[in-house]
Homo-oligomer: A and B are copies of this chain.
Amino acid sequence: MSAKVTIHDVARESGVSIKTVSRVLNREPNVKADTRDRVQAAVAALNYRPNISARSLAGSKAYLIGVFFDNPSPGYVTDVQLGAIARCRQEGFHLIVEPIDSTADVEEQVAPMLATLRMDGVILTPPLSDHPVVLAALEREGVAYVRIAPGGDLDRAPWVSMDDRLAAYEMTKHLIDLGHKDIGFIIGHPDHGASHLRHQGFLDAMRDSGLLVRDNRVEQGWFSFRSGFEAAERLLSGPDKPTAIFASNDDMALGVMAVANRLRLDVPSQLSVAGFDDTPGAKITWPQLTTVRQPIHAMAGAAADMLMQGVEREEGAPPPSRLLDFELVVRESTGQAPR
């Protein structure tokens, strides 16, 4: 076990006071370049690392960012973590992950944790981005937070998102351009704000192209493979079938593919299938899924950035939020409509 080296050791080594060491560590101004160099040399020589507990106890920063999730999609979750960590590392911050079980007592899970940890901020992933109890607890404890892809109440707090409506609009357009006129749609989990936006984008594109959306062409799903599978069974039962199905996420699209497979419907010659998210699963199928690439990694990184910079907004001003770009990923699961 390497000996613990403290700020005092560095101070002694470089012949300055501990306060000055603290100054250079925190990149405070008003330190002579020469002094700064000496301290940095000592830090390097002793291999000194400030103790995070001491820093957060004495100071106002905890160097801890929380990530809350209650997301059935592991790919999404890890992507968020990776994106956030990438930015945190550079600033010496660390990530605390906290799965929240929304079916249990949320207040009880969140409140104690916020009080003990006193994190600098937390990143909320859907569907937690819109969870009233979580938001309220965060505000009550005075902990800053950034919502990823919130569904509504956008002025309440800073957020990072992408234009879900536009993405769904463009995907629908892509299908229409391929000649599809009768398109089925599977709505996502109603608790996720994005579900509504994607649905709206679909509807808008259909309307703008003068296409009819029949009632029995829209099914409710829950973002899970199974729900997509079941929705597809309803959509594809009987002789009257749509020529394309646009599912609100990849997992459900995979469910659609499975049904098509079972029904011996060839994708894409007899049925086009489109997903949303570009999860790893999109490539783990054959044919590979046409989908929308969400900038999850970048969104999480941006959220972490905002938190580390201490997102503070002036009274009345809109929260400093960001809308990132998505990308339409056209692969093999969509093709020309059968005539």
Interfacial residues, chain A to chain B (CB-CB below 8 A): 1-2, 47, 49-54, 56-57, 62-63, 74-75, 77-79, 81-82, 85, 89, 92, 94-99, 109, 112-113, 115-118, 140-142, 225, 251, 254-255, 257-258, 261-262, 280-281, 283-286
Contacts and interface: CB of A to CB of B under 8 A. Distances in A.
Given A74-B77, A286-B258, A51 B96 contact: no
A51 B116 contact: yes
Interface of chain A: mostly helix, strand, loop or mixed: helix
A92 B75 contact: no
Number of copies of chain A assembled together: 2
B50 A116 contact: yes
B141 A2 contact: yes
B95 A97 contact: yes
B94 A96 contact: yes
Nearest to A286: B258
Contact of A284 (B85, B109, B281, B283): B281
A54 B57 contact: yes
A54 B96 CA distance: 18
Contact of A77 (B50, B78, B262): B78
Among A1, A94, A118, A257, chain B packs the most CB atoms within 10 A around the CB of A94
A116 B5 CA distance: 11
A94 B77 contact: no
Contacts of A97: 81, 85, 95, 97
A262 B286 contact: yes
Contact of A94 (B74, B113, B280): B113
A287 to B, nearest CB: 9
